Structure 1
Amino acid sequence: MKILVTGGAGFIGSWVVKQLLNDGHFVWALDDLSNGRIDNIQEVIDHRNFKEFIQGNIKDVSLLKDLFENKFDICYHLGASINVQESIDDPRTTFENDTIGTFNTLEQCKENNVKIVFMSTCMVYDRASSDRGIKETDPIKPASPYAGAKIAAENMVLSYYYAYGLPAVVIRPFNTYGPFQKTGGEGGVVAIFIKNKLKGIPIQIYGNGTQTRDLLYVEDCARFVVQAGYSKNVDGEIVNAGLGHDISINELAKLIVKDDSKIQHVKHIHPQSEIQKLLCNYEKAKKLLGWEPKISLEKGINLTEEWIKNTNLI
């Protein structure tokens, strides 16, 4: 197939690009490099099926119009502003990228009858209320403009399925981590904790650290994203993916650094955006896609630490 990945030079996007190439498809990657990095896809630039990297923004309607002349079969739409804290400080940028950018992409998918796989987020949910985990039908709560923009975009995506019959699916991966994730302030908690450990500096935890996260290894996440595009079973659906186990940030820090004296608690920047318990119920993905995670948290942390060491990101 001919496939477009928006946000294709991003952390998860680059893994999706590699998975699609491994599956034998022709791939185009669009990214404005505001968060993504060309280094993330350097290894596939010369792949015989990698057609083009386009540096551009999903807010650029004429660029999208030209790009969709390639007659794609699927658009994996991962391009977005993803920082929760920044969305509180600057909601306009997040709304324009995540909601309006999605609308622009949807319009081109509709005009060209291209299936869209929309990458949403677990941050749209209210907290998990039990140990069964959060299901797709559980309450949502836009506790940040990032979550609000994603919910608005989700609704637009599903409206195109119902109003126009456009093949479309909304996916909500839980907290994804692994190689190629940034280790700076805008990176994920696992990458940041590992970097600090390797540098010998304290790990800082926002608030009391009792908040929990369901941490999904990026290779498992990319496999889920790709399969959602291949299957008609999930058209018109919202589907979760996660490990199915949660861990408190305090426990995660101890697992990574193994030294309580290296852990500090600091005042939360935006406590109103915090979700106290995130735990995924991925039964729907298992039922409709035959998907389930393969990499344990311990193994995923080891793989991520090795990558950070070998790429000198410390």
Structure 2
Amino acid sequence: MTFLVTGGAGFIGRWVVNRLLADGEQVVVLDNLSNGSLDNLKGLSANPHLEIITGDIKDQKTLSGLFRKKNLNTILHLAADIIVQDSIDNPRKVFENDVLGTFNLLEEARKAETKFVFMSTCMVYDTASSSGAISETYPTKAASPYAGAKLAGENMVQSYYHAYDLPTVILRPFNTYGPFQKSTGEGGVVSIFIQKELNREYLSIYGDGTQTRDLMYVEDCADFVVMAAASEKCNGEIVNAGLGTDISVNDLAAMICKDKSRIRHVEHIHPQSEISRLVCDRSKAKRLLGWEPKTTLENGIRKTFEFQKARVL
């Protein structure tokens, strides 16, 4: 099998590539390196089954040439602008990357009859009620241009499944963390908090910190992506993945930083885009794929802490 992984030099993409190579698959990475880095692939780049191409999904010439030269069996489309705050500040950029870029790939997939796996996000959901977790049928809400772009991408993917019988699957992973995630403002809350703790800096929490997140370790997420790509049961489906339990940002900060004096609350930059509660109902992934996360939050944070500490040293 030959897989095209867009955004393969990014955080989750790197781990998806790692899993595919471990399975003995041929992998072509396409990444414009706007969010990803070739450093993420250093430990993998010597593998003869991996080819890395620097290019942009908005460039139709690059895409058509790639599909013409490669016999691609499956597209794992992970490339995207993913920063919610950036999407509010620059909605055109997220639309062009996440909607037009997805359309360009879908067109090439349609011509080549190549399976299309679309990485969406839990950020398309409305906030969960206090009584239950979020399933795939839960109401969606475009609370930011990022969420709106992902929903638009989902709709295009579904239209190609129904109109052209193209095998597609839409994945909605919940908040993912782990080694190789950025620890700057573009990273996730776990990696940012760990880096602040390593530097003995303040951990800043937006708002009152009662907002909750379902945090999934990145290797579990990569397993989910690859398993969904290999399964015909997922064709035409939307599938969640997450730990299945949530934690408040306040409790997460306290888990990472034992010195309460270095935890502070700051005004939210874009409170209108905040989702107050996210917790995943992963029963569909278990039913269709037999997938369940293997890593507890405590073990995942420990692994991430060790990775980031080693990088500092």
Shift of 1:49: 1.1
Q: Which residue of 2 aligns with 1:22?
A: 22
SS at match of 1:44: coil
* Mapped partners of 2:48, 2:3: distance in 1: 14
Q: Which residue of 1 aligns with 2:55?
A: 56
Matched, 1:104 2:122: no
Please give the TM-score of this superposition, normalised by the length of structure 2.
0.99
Q: Which residue of 1 aligns with 2:309?
A: 309
SS at match of 1:68: helix
* Mapped partners of 1:117, 1:130: distance in 2: 31
* Mapped partners of 2:75, 2:40: distance in 1: 19
Amino acid paired to 2:60: V
Q: Which residue of 2 aligns with 1:234?
A: 234
Q: Which residue of 2 aligns with 1:10?
A: 10
The equivalences for 1:115-130 within 5 A come to: 115-130=115-130
Q: Which residue of 1 aligns with 2:66?
A: 67
Unmatched runs of 5 consecutive residues or more in structure 1? none
The equivalences for 1:1-314 within 5 A come to: 1-50=1-50, 52-69=51-68, 70-312=70-312
Shift of 1:44: 1.0
SS at match of 1:43: coil
* Mapped partners of 2:105, 2:221: distance in 1: 22
Shift of 1:131: 4.0
SS at match of 1:143: coil
Q: Is the 8 Å Cα contact of residues 29 and 53 (structure 1) preserved in structure 2? A: yes
* Mapped partners of 1:258, 1:37: distance in 2: 32
Unmatched runs of 5 consecutive residues or more in structure 2? none
Please give the TM-score of this superposition, normalised by the length of structure 1.
0.98
Q: Is the 8 Å Cα contact of residues 131 and 279 (structure 1) preserved in structure 2? A: no
* Mapped partners of 1:200, 1:58: distance in 2: 40
Q: Is the 8 Å Cα contact of residues 16 and 223 (structure 1) preserved in structure 2? A: yes
* Mapped partners of 1:168, 1:188: distance in 2: 28
* Alignment RMSD (CA, Å): 0.8
SS at match of 2:233: helix
* Mapped partners of 1:312, 1:23: distance in 2: 31
SS at match of 1:71: coil
* Mapped partners of 2:73, 2:62: distance in 1: 18
Amino acid paired to 2:129: S
Q: Which runs of 4+ in 1 moved over 3 A?
A: none
Shift of 1:132: 2.9
Amino acid paired to 1:170: I
